[in-house]
Structure 1
Amino acid sequence: MQKFISDESFWELFPEAAIAVLSVRGLKESGLTDVQKDEIKDLLAQANRQAAKYVPCEPISANEVVQVWREAYRKFPTKKGARCSIEALLKRVLHDTPVGSIVPSVDITNAVSLKYAFPIGVENIDAFAGDLHLGAMKGDEAFLPIGSDHEEPPLPGEIAYYDSEGVVCRCWNWRDGQRTQMQDYTPNAFVAMECVEPHRRDDLQKAADDLAALLTKYLQAEIVTIAIVTKKNPEVALR
């Protein structure tokens, strides 16, 4: 049995956080009709418009959904300039350069991320070495980031997703590694959506349910696991 396990070292820093976890198999990018492709593009366009409510003012750091993540990143060592992934999406909305269409699976996750203002990470679950963890790093773990040709190990104490071969995503939800990245037509995936605001737990559940429904409707996905991980429920079976 393969699991996602959130370590005690994570909960010591973020006792009120919650993580929506999905394990998905059988994703199919091909076979979409033109009507379905247009529907997905429309979902993304609508989500760009909806996200404007989260960033009503300049600078982007003045907006609450960005502030909470910047504060979260101050609780552990990070590489200079590292930011939560949702900030990059919302910056596009704030500057009136909407997040554009890429491929259906990415468009769907971006649409849900924008609609609810939660960061979403997607990884190739078949590339995991054993269980996936979230916790504090020693600082010597292997990590080859996407778009780089040299290793960039995490800092000691940095929060990251990791498995028995090294880091999967650095600085919690900042930068993915090459080893577990999604490729064209990767069929099986792990999805994580993070929340650091206790009052938004209901929104997190709605976002997870929306994402599961969209992946099922458009990409013929089978949802193997959908769960909310908390300090009281720190692990979940993925398959």
Structure 2
Amino acid sequence: MTGIDLQGILSGAFVAPEVFALRPDYRALLIAVDGIRPAAGDAASEALLARAEESARAAVADAPVEEEPHVAAWREAYRAFGAKPQRTRNSLEALLRRAAGDGLPRVNRLTDVYNAVCVLHRLPLGGEDLSAYQGSPRLTRATGAEPFDTVAGGEDVVEHPLPGEVIWGDEAGVTCRMWNWRQGRRTRLTDETASALFILDALDPMTDEQLLAAADDLLAHLREADPDLVVAQRLIAAG
């Protein structure tokens, strides 16, 4: 265990009113976990990835990815703050397309599990290394001055979001651009991650029951490998 104050971090998390003004139906379910034992992918995570890929292929056989209800809702949300969803795809759409095409990446057990749950439950789901956080997560609209550390052309660079862009961040800068499009380098999961923050994003028509079911499924798979996992979670919604 790392001894991170999971509940304290989540208690300080917030979604700014200007984000809810864009989408009053938005909900963020934050799950903080500690006690992860880093591990490579195994038979259980491989089976989960395969099930997610099969689910994605069945979905695109019936209708284009962009017509999947939650994908369509996220495309509308992106347009609301000026993003072009055909060029900057929300993480759900990007993973669904990848799962239905060449297949999901095989990274490590932790990453493989949350990618599969994202596809199976049809919601954007981000995972980040909690030990790299400075303060609590917050979802705001950018001024354009916030630093975002990423990689471009094989080099580490610092970029900045567009003014008005919806961003996740902490006291040190941006952790994810365009709501759930691209995660930063500083807080990315690694093969040594022992504590993690998962962010599950929901818009209508996804219900709270479906959102919580995705969270339960994620935790069930994580606990298969780490039954003594310490967990804290918090649902943030308008009002």
Bin for the TM-score computed over the shorter chain: 0.7 to 0.9
Unaligned runs of 5+ in 1: 233-239
**Is the 1:159–1:170 Cα contact (8 Å) retained in structure 2?**
yes
With structure 1 as the length reference, what TM-score do the two structures score? 0.86
1:11 to 4, 20, 26: 20
Q: Taking structure 1 as reference, are residues 104 and 201 closer, same or farther at Cα in structure 2, changes over 3 Å only?
A: same
* C-alpha distance in structure 2 between counterparts of 1:55 and 1:204, whole Å: 22
**Is the 1:131–1:164 Cα contact (8 Å) retained in structure 2?**
yes
Which residue is 1:155 aligned to? 162
**Is the 1:125–1:180 Cα contact (8 Å) retained in structure 2?**
yes
SS at match of 2:24: coil
2:92 to 86, 97, 111: 86
Which residue is 2:5 aligned to? none
Which residue is 1:169 aligned to? 176
SS at match of 1:197: coil
For structure 1, which segment, 38-47 or 61-70, has the greater mean C-alpha deviation from structure 2 after superposition? 61-70
**Is the 1:23–1:224 Cα contact (8 Å) retained in structure 2?**
yes
* C-alpha distance in structure 1 between counterparts of 2:161 and 2:84, whole Å: 8
1:102 to 92, 107, 110: 107
What root-mean-square deviation, in Å, do the aligned CA atoms of Structure 1 and Structure 2 show?
2.1
2:119 to 78, 91, 114: 114
Correspondence 1:24-43 to 2 at 5 A: 24-30=33-39, 37-43=42-48
Query: Percent sequence identity over matched residues?
Result: 32
Which residue is 2:138 aligned to? 133
Deviation string for 1:182-201 (max 9, x for gaps)? 11121011100111114432
* C-alpha distance in structure 2 between counterparts of 1:20 and 1:55, whole Å: 27
Which amino acid letter does the alignment assign opposite residue 164 of structure 2?
G
**Is the 2:53–2:100 Cα contact (8 Å) retained in structure 1?**
no
Q: Taking structure 1 as reference, are residues 198 and 57 closer, same or farther at Cα in structure 2, changes over 3 Å only?
A: closer
For structure 1, which segment, 80-89 or 144-153, has the greater mean C-alpha deviation from structure 2 after superposition? 144-153
Unaligned runs of 5+ in 2: 1-7
* C-alpha distance in structure 1 between counterparts of 2:121 and 2:94, whole Å: 14
Q: Taking structure 1 as reference, are residues 53 and 195 closer, same or farther at Cα in structure 2, changes over 3 Å only?
A: farther
Which residue is 1:194 aligned to? 201
Which residue is 1:55 aligned to? 60
Deviation string for 1:154-186 (max 9, x for gaps)? 111110101111111000101111111111121
Which residue is 2:49 aligned to? 44
Which residue is 1:235 aligned to? none
* C-alpha distance in structure 1 between counterparts of 2:165 and 2:49, whole Å: 32
* C-alpha distance in structure 1 between counterparts of 2:105 and 2:188, whole Å: 20
Q: Taking structure 1 as reference, are residues 144 and 199 closer, same or farther at Cα in structure 2, changes over 3 Å only?
A: closer
Q: Taking structure 1 as reference, are residues 199 and 170 closer, same or farther at Cα in structure 2, changes over 3 Å only?
A: closer
